Amino acid sequence: MKPLKQQTPVRSQCMITGSADVEVFFEMDAVPMMCNVLWPTRQAALSAPTGNIHLGFSPSSGHIFNTVFDADLLDYDQSYENSLHFSPRFQRYAEWLAADLIERYQLRGKTIIDVGCGKGDFLRLICQMAGARGVGFDRSYEPTLEDALNPQVTFIQAFFDEVQDDRYHGDMICCRHVLEHIADPVGFLMDIRQALHQRDDAVVFFEVPNALYTLRDKGIWDIIYEHVSYFTPNSLVRAFTTAGFDVLRVDETYGGQFLTIEARATDHIPGSAISTPLSGAQLAGLVRDFADVYHHKFDEWCSRLDAFAVTGKQVMVWGSGSKGVTFLNVLHTQDQIAYVVDINPRKQGKFVAGSGQQIVAPQFLREHPPQVVIVMNPLYREEIVATLAELGLEADVLVA
């Protein structure tokens, strides 16, 4: 991998409050800068640029962030691919989420804005289910003939803040898995609030990875350079109230891996009656213990991979998303694992940033049967086991 020159820490104050109480508690250096950009050749993947992660924690806000993050080093374009909608498990979640939002906020026939819509999967889904009109913003969106002929949805290949047009406002602003990438989250939320055009009836819905899953449930493979922020319920609520929103609801969803928040803009002093699941002291305790938790799990998997190599077992990882990329890189698996399985056809044939494994379709396993399959997300274990059975394969299926 090709390390980039890393600056001294660019931020010593809390991203949410500006407080100077930030303490760096964990460091991970020379990791791929963009996990969700895949490469056309192994050599290109091995030379992918890397950056450093130095996680800081602000006790006053409960926020965790990369103190040496540099947004100028990242470029989101059409090569960025992070869709999860090819998984039946994830698709069921997306359908449940869309139905829940439609029902609670009466979105049938309304207008929905999706900020950071990716390839447009969720926006198409919720608009179809609600008979709603949708407008999606994302540089990584790729135009299709189907979308061009669909009067329900319009896609803008730009970031939301790059388009200043009064035509684009809606009854709901949806923003999923974007805020954690933003170097100034409060400023971004203030821009969203301004875009509501004084509509106090419009609701905003955000979804972000849940830092409690990383801390509490040992989801250590979720740490990636693309994410400058790791939101806890405490810091997510604080960010929204600081930006001028009344917080209506906060939930842990998708097996605790995601945080969702719903809010409305207010001209009054913003507030929240939402109770967070952990006190500041409990959260600080999880942060304090995290480095030990990480190194224990890291050592456990190093030992497992060494044992598989000694016995000559063919090992494959299933899942080339962020979790898989972190796992493959930090454990230095270039010579131990040759292939990564992924059901997303847009990823197949490409190579993993940093570690260089080729991404293959499940059908590839018929000719190259593994003895061990490492599942990167426990929520997908059941469907992966079912797929292996359909292929007539038997393997030890382990959750990373």
pLDDT in tens, 235-286: 999 999 999 999 999 999 999 999 999 999 988 766 666 778 888 899 999 9
Amino acid at 272: S
Hey, what are 293's tokens? 């938790």
> If pLDDT is split at 50, 70 and 90, which confidence band does 82 have?
low
Return phi, psi of residue 105, to 5°. -115, 15
| Average pLDDT score, the chain | 92
Per CATH, the homologous superfamily of domain 88-281 is Vaccinia Virus protein VP39 (3.40.50.150)
258-279: burial string, b at 16+ Cβ within 10 Å, e else: bbbbbbbbeeeebebebebebe
Residue 9 has pLDDT above 60, yes or no: no
Q: What is the C-alpha to C-alpha distance for residues 124 and 147, in angstroms, rounded to an integer?
A: 9
Per-domain boundaries in the chain: 88-281
Return phi, psi of residue 126, to 5°. -70, -35
Mean pLDDT of 102-114: 96
Task: Give the full edge-to-edge strand order of the sheet including 372-375.
Answer: 358-360, 339-341, 315-318, 372-375, 396-399
Helix (H), strand (E) at residue 172: strand 172-176
pLDDT cut 70: percent of the chain above it: 94
Helix (H), strand (E) at residue 42: helix 42-46
- What are the CB-based long-range contacts (under 8 Å, 24+) for 98-102? 98/122, 98/125, 98/126, 98/129, 98/130, 99/129, 101/126, 101/172, 101/174, 101/205, 102/126, 102/129, 102/130, 102/132
Q: What is the C-alpha to C-alpha distance for residues 291 and 16, in angstroms, rounded to an integer?
A: 23
CB-count burial class (<10 Å; 0-12, 13-18, 19+) for 35? buried
CB-count burial class (<10 Å; 0-12, 13-18, 19+) for 296? exposed
Residue 400 has pLDDT above 70, yes or no: yes
Question: Is this prediction's pTM over 0.95?
Answer: no
User: Which residue, among 349, 297, 304, has the nearest Cα to 323 in the 3D structure?
Assistant: 297
